[in-house]
Every structure is written in C-alpha cells, then in structure tokens.
Amino acid sequence: MKHRTLLTCMCGLILFGSCKDQPTQNEQPLEVMTFNIRLDAPSDSANNWKYRKDNVCKMIAYYQPDLLGMQEVCHNQMEDLKLGLPQYTALGVGRDDGKEAGEYCPVFFKTDRFTLVEHGNFSLSEQPETIGVRGWDASYNRITTWAILQKKSDGKKLVFFNTHLDNDGKTARKEGVQLILNKIKETAPHMPAIITGDFNCTPGEAPLQTLEKGGMKNTSKVATVMYGPSWSFHDFGRLPMEKRVLLDYVFVTNGTKTDRYRVIQDTPENGFLSDHNPVLVNITLQ
C-alpha cells in the first residue's frame, strides 16, 4: 500500500512538472509579414494599384500573417486594404500630416488573436513627435507606426514596430534605426519586440548592424529553414536577376526563435503584386 501511494505521488509530481513546462513547449508560433505594396501611381500603367489590389488582399488572406507591416500605403490603398481584409485591425497615419496625407507605414494585426493595448506613430527625424518633417539627410518624410499587443490565448504582450527608411539619406537610415531602438526601450523595455520594414539597405549595410548591436536578430540570417529568392526588390520584374536586392526585413528580439523564413515570389496570372516581394517569417516567442 505504501509503495502504491509513493508511486502515485511520484507520478503526480512528474505530471505537474510536465504541465508546468507545457505552455512553453506549446507556444503557438506567430506568422509575421513585411510587404512594400508600392504606392498608387498612375505612371505604373498596367501595374497600377487598381489592377493589383484584389490579388494583394487574396495573397494576404491566403498566407494569413498574424502581424503585417506594410509600406508605401496611400490613404485610398489603406481604405482598400481595410475593406479587403476585415479580419485585421489596421493602425497608422499618413507621413505628411499625421492624418491621411502621404504614405502610411501601417500595422495590421489579427483581431481574433490580439487585443490592442497601446499604439502610436513618430517621425524618423530629430523631432520624432512632429509628423511631416524630414530627418537628417533624408529625401522624404519618414514615419514609424507601433503597437503593444496582448495575445488573447495567454495574455502575453509584445511590441510591434513597422517602418520605411529613406532611400537616399545614409545618416537618416542609421539614425532612424537608432531612434526605433530607443523607442522600444522607452515604450516596452521588457517585452519581446518585432520590427518590420523596407530598410532600403542591402544585407551588409550599417543600419542593419546597428539593429543587431542593439539586441535585435535579422530573421534572414537566423531562420532554421529558409526558402525563396535572396532578393525582394524586382521593380515589377524589370530588374535583371543580378541587380535584384534584399531591402525588406523582419527583426526580432534576442530570445525569439525563427523557425521559417520565406521571400514570397508569387506572381498572379495577370501581373505583379508589387515591385517588392513580401517576406514571411514564422517565429516563436520564448
């Protein structure tokens, strides 16, 4: 009888220990996408947004990212995306006036998976609280949109930043990423952080190294499994293969496991999704 009681107690302890570890083992991964959708430009002719918008929404609905950062989103495109992707909550403002003028860098998140805790926007400039100003040596106003989100499944929080660095200003790109790192420390210093964006940088450039030194990991370098091309910008297929480069990235905090990384090269039958390919990563917060 004593032996049976002892065995029951031991089994209970083992079961308790395994249950205690269960949430970590069964942590549901997050699908995170970054996608420069190309602004609505009449000069794009057959590649104009009106011919692409339905396929863009279908692609996103197919891959179902939990978190999605987009770039070059004009206000009418923002409205089209909200209409075409009702399963998402969309956040963001135009970079020229903090309202509807200029390109957005919006954050989209699955409404059924997250609760919004806090969100905001800032300009990539020496005056981050003032939207509509150019920073450092930038050619354009640049903006970042961020959100603190709480997972409905387990109550854990994370912070998500989405941005678009300047295409010309080297100082603006470097200072811009440092500003984002500072904002992460300011708004959510103890939470897992994710940064998506078109960084207008090739893999060896200084801004990406600044992010890595600041405690972020480049998912294109650390993923367990990688698939797809090594480039994301193709200019609606016009760039020769040898001139195509990776400009779009997903960075995650140290301690986050990147299981899969993919540059999506899908091309609809009747054209292109954008002049950039989307990047999709599967990550586990640890």
Give the bridge partners for 146, in sequence order: 120, 161
CATH number at residue 44: 3.60.10.10
Report the number of distinct structural domains present in the chain.
1
Domain of residue 184 covers 31-280
pLDDT reported for residue 27: 77
- Let me know if residue 3 belongs to a domain: no
Residue 35 lies in a domain: yes
Please return the burial class of 88, using the count of CB atoms within 10 Å of its CB with bins 0-12, 13-18 and 19+.
Answer: buried
Give me the count of residues in the chain.
286
The reply to whether 101 falls in a domain is yes
Question: What is the average pLDDT value for the chain, to the nearest integer?
Answer: 92
Q: Look at residue 12 and tell me whether its pLDDT is greater than 70.
A: no
Residue 139 has pLDDT above 70, yes or no: yes
**pLDDT digits 0-9 by tens, 142-182:** 999 999 999 999 999 999 999 999 999 999 999 999 999 99
Q: Residue 242: inside a domain, yes or no?
A: yes
DSSP 123: E
Q: What pLDDT sits at residue 255?
A: 84
Q: Are the beta carbons of 93 and 130 closer than 8 angstroms?
A: no
Backbone torsions φ then ψ of 283, nearest 5 degrees = -125, 155
In this prediction, residue 19 carries a pLDDT of: 41
For residue 7, pLDDT over 50 is answered with: no
What is the number of helices (H) and of strands (E) in the chain? 6, 13
Give dist(CA 121, CA 123) in Å, integer.
7
Residue 128 has pLDDT above 80, yes or no: yes
**Residue 249 resides in a domain:** yes
Q: How far, in Å, CA of 243 to CA of 234, rounded? A: 8
Structure confidence by residue, pLDDT tens digits, 22-49: 434 567 999 999 999 999 999 999 999 9
Are the C-beta atoms of residues 207 and 247 closer than 8 Å to each other? no
The pLDDT, as a whole number, for residue 5 is 45
Structural domain contains residue 21: no
- Residue 23 located in a structural domain: no
Residue 20 lies in a domain: no
Q: What is the pLDDT of residues 232-278, one digit of tens each?
A: 999 999 999 999 999 999 999 988 999 999 999 999 998 999 999 99
